[in-house]
Amino acid sequence: MEDKHLLMIPGPTPVPPKVLSATAKPPIGHRSGDFSKILAEVTENLNWLHQTKSNVLMLTVSGTGAMEAGIINFLSPGDRVLVGSNGKFGDRWAQISKAFGLDVDVISADWGKPLDTEEFRQELEGDKEKKIKAVIVTHSETSTGVLNDLETINKYVKNHGESLIIVDAVTSLGALNVPVDEWELDVVASGSQKGYMIPPGLGFVTVSDKAWKAYENAKIPKFYFDLKKYDKAASKNSTPFTPPINLIYGLQTALQMMKNEGLENIFARHQRLTQATRAGIKALGLSLFAPDEAASTAATSVIPASVEADAIRSTMNKRFNIALAGGQDHMKGKIFRIGHLGFVSDRDILTVLSCLGATLQELGKDVDPGAGVAAAAKVLG
């Protein structure tokens, strides 16, 4: 059925109708007083969302660009970095680090498992000469639906003293608590098409005072990604280069919606959606890829076992106009992923589970099609 799409992937995430309308307003000049006022409001609300007093910097990039800026601004070729990798995005940050000549030490875990915080402790405690300049961690690994224990890894980084912590919060920011200032997170990067509830095209980076000090000695070349330019401009409610004006219109509206809902409510909703989804999946006789204690609030990865993952996605799409995400890289065809990040409600989860039950039945699995809904409804209470 045309125009009846339900987007349940972990990015792009669904965009509220009034945010879409805001993005469709005619652009005005980005150097005008009227636009400065919008930037001032947006920056103030971004700071609220990121729980930080310093400017949240906005770049015209996708999430990878924000993360690249977050890495290259604070390091020099040859610097040693520890990169946690247990999925496609952790792999990518290791690749970026290598591309810019960093001395990369990867701490990896199997896809579907969280990073072992003990390995970080050992590496950091063993680094008596303080050669590790940064620890790079993916908070919520979107490719697997695994949440890494950022708080514990960050504690070991703080004990180390010298190293920065650089966080990919692309699918955690706006979905669960990431108190940037309280945890003294040095660099936190994220992207618009995730918890922010707007279309892709904007990246966000926060920078601590300690990271700004490291910036002074960082020698990786940069211009468009030079975060100091963005920080200086942000202090004057401006941007160094033409910003994506219409996305910022949308962001203004989305942030107002988020403030109305409140941080605690947003986090509780994502927690509730995650638990309901997991309960429903189990009740439908499918397996979860990520363990309960490391469940991402952005996406739930499902191992369908006796049914083809891609057959499920295809039927969900054709019969019910629901888009689910597939596996990435070597997990292609082995898992599917249900996004529950951003503008997603209890109703959406019950909808997905009800259609998933019907789909499994259609694909010949011996299952009570309502079992997922029943289990989820119990969680939703």
**Residue numbers at the binding site for a second copy (CB under 8 A):** 5, 7, 9, 11-12, 14-15, 20-21, 23-32, 60-65, 68, 95-96, 99-101, 191, 193, 199-201, 220-226, 241-247, 323, 325-326
Spatial CB neighbours of 286, under 8 Å, sequence gap ≥ 6: 302, 303, 304, 305
Q: Which long-range contacts (CB under 8 A, 24 or more apart) does 39-46 make?
A: 39/234, 39/237, 39/238, 39/239, 39/243, 39/248, 40/237, 41/252, 41/255, 42/248, 42/251, 42/252, 42/255, 43/234, 43/237, 45/252, 45/255, 45/256, 45/258, 45/259, 46/204, 46/255
Report the candidate in 119, 124, 114 with the shortest Cα–Cα distance to residue 161.
124
Provide, rounded to whole angstroms, the least separation between the CB of residue 375 and a second copy.
27
Question: Among residues 29 and 333, whose Cβ is nearest to a second copy?
Answer: 29
Residue 77's CB is within 10 A of a number of other CB atoms, namely: 12
Question: Among residues 45 and 97, whose Cβ is nearest to a second copy?
Answer: 97
Provide, rounded to whole angstroms, the least separation between the CB of residue 152 and a second copy.
29
Provide, rounded to whole angstroms, the least separation between the CB of residue 31 and a second copy.
8
Provide, rounded to whole angstroms, the least separation between the CB of residue 251 and a second copy.
12
Distance, in Å, from the CA atom of 282 to the CA atom of 112, rounded to the nearest integer, reads 16
Question: Among residues 23 and 208, whose Cβ is nearest to a second copy?
Answer: 23
Question: Among residues 216 and 293, whose Cβ is nearest to a second copy?
Answer: 216
Pairing of strands 325-326, 336-339: antiparallel
Question: Among residues 23 and 117, whose Cβ is nearest to a second copy?
Answer: 23
Provide, rounded to whole angstroms, the least separation between the CB of residue 181 and a second copy.
27
Question: Among residues 244 and 304, whose Cβ is nearest to a second copy?
Answer: 244
Provide, rounded to whole angstroms, the least separation between the CB of residue 62 and a second copy.
4
Report the candidate in 39, 48, 11, 20 with the shortest Cα–Cα distance to residue 242.
39
> For residue 278, which phi and psi values (nearest 5 degrees)?
-65, -40
Q: Which two tokens stand for residue 264?
A: 């605690």
Provide, rounded to whole angstroms, the least separation between the CB of residue 334 and a second copy.
16
Distance, in Å, from the CA atom of 293 to the CA atom of 146, rounded to the nearest integer, reads 9
CA distances from 4 to 317, 323, 340, 351 (A): 11, 11, 18, 13
Report the candidate in 246, 233, 272 with the shortest Cα–Cα distance to residue 56.
233
Residue 16's CB is within 10 A of a number of other CB atoms, namely: 16
Provide, rounded to whole angstroms, the least separation between the CB of residue 359 and a second copy.
18
Question: Among residues 61 and 178, whose Cβ is nearest to a second copy?
Answer: 61
Question: Among residues 179 and 333, whose Cβ is nearest to a second copy?
Answer: 333
